[in-house]
Amino acid sequence: MVLETSHASRGIIQGMNMRADLNSEMNLKNNSDSVSIEGCLEAVVAWVEQSTGKNYFLAPLEEFQARYGKVNSEDDFYQARMNYFLENCVLERPMTAVAGGRTPLSFFMEKHSHYTTGEDKNASVWRAFCGFRHSVFQVVKSGANGIVVRDLLADKIIKIQSKAGETLQYLGAHSIFQGYIFGHHNQYVLSPGLILHPELANKEIIMFIHQYRLAPKVQPHEITRLLAQINMKYMRMQHVNPKVIYSGISK
């Protein structure tokens, strides 16, 4: 079921539109300016709107909230979940049903492939942005300036470095989170759209992932979707033991 477009949804999109227009216009006009992972995302968002119109993101937002859980502007996790939506829409959601189901990022890079060439810092940031990884991660070594995580879907160890002015201290050893990380050559940075799972539910999460990894027809994006849904339930019922909530994830 697709939710009806609400005035709140339109306001959310309009707010993101204004922010993307203001921050990414310089990136599109003058790529000599210093860019960041967030700036890359905003540049693609602005390009999509310039190419298709301001209302492009309305339908994807409705679809996302129907599939991943509806977020309200007063929720404490509102901004992180909306960042997760934007990242999902730009990086992985097909822009059209034709042309092989290509994503906004794919179309954008076709027009701006020169952004990733060269050895300067900006080209490196754009290459990192294109080298995204969407998964569920568990911290195996914590630290303020860098952490080591295990990609629980790919069973791979990855190093994540903090960005300028960022601390990773809030991700303690054994923490499980999901979202997008950006980088290449096994060196990554975090996106702002992370979903943090309660540590008390670690056993249930790992058992769930193990169960679905044994099912060859289950795609990784379905695992992340179901975890995002159950996390939304937990965030609204934090008075309940998270083990109880997460134990129902595979039912």
Same domain, 111 and 157: no
With tokens 């697709």, the residue in question is: 2
pLDDT the model gives residue 29: 44
Which of 14-18, 19-23, 25-29, 54-58 tops mean pLDDT?
54-58
**CA 213 – CA 226 distance, rounded (Å):** 14
Residue ending a domain, among 157, 179, 197, is 197
Q: How far is CA 90 from the centre of its chain?
A: 9
Mean pLDDT of the chain: 85
Q: Is the pLDDT of residue 240 over 50?
A: yes
Rounded to a whole number, what is the distance in angstroms from the first to the last CA of the chain?
20
Q: pLDDT tens digits, residue range 25-51?
A: 444 444 557 889 999 999 999 999 999
Are 59 and 103 in the same domain?
yes
Q: Are residues 77 and 180 in the same domain?
A: no
Instruction: For residue 122, give both structure tokens.
Output: 């900006």
- 22 and 76 inside one domain: yes
Domain boundaries, position 29:
7-128
Q: Which range, of 33-37, 157-161, 192-196, averages the lowest pLDDT?
A: 33-37
State residue 6's pLDDT score. Answer: 42
**pLDDT for the residue numbered 125:** 93
Write out pLDDT tens, residues 65-113.
999 999 999 999 999 999 999 999 999 999 876 657 899 999 999 999 9
Q: Binning pLDDT at 50, 70 and 90, where does residue 171 land?
A: very high
Tokens, residue 132: 């995204």
116 and 138 assigned to the same domain? no
Q: Are residues 42 and 143 in the same domain?
A: no
3-state secondary structure of 239: coil
8 A C-beta contact, residue 141 and residue 173: yes
Burial class (CB in 10 A: 0-12, 13-18, 19+), 57: buried
200, 238 Cβ separation under 8 angstroms: no
Q: What share of the chain is helix, strand, coil (3-state, %, to 5)?
A: 50, 15, 35
Query: Is 236 inside a domain boundary?
Result: yes
Residue 237 neighbours by CB distance under 10 Å: 12
Residue 159 lies in a domain: yes
- 116 shares its domain with 214: no
Spatial CA neighbour of 170 closest among 216, 209, 208, 139: 139
For the CA atoms of 198, 199, 202, 205, what is the dihedral angle to 10 degrees?
20
CA distance 126 to 117: 9
Q: Which two structure tokens, joined as six digits, stand for 16?
A: 């993101």
Task: Examine the domain organization and report whether 122 and 142 are in the same domain.
Answer: no
Q: Are residues 108 and 16 in the same domain?
A: yes
Q: What's the structural domain count of the chain? A: 3
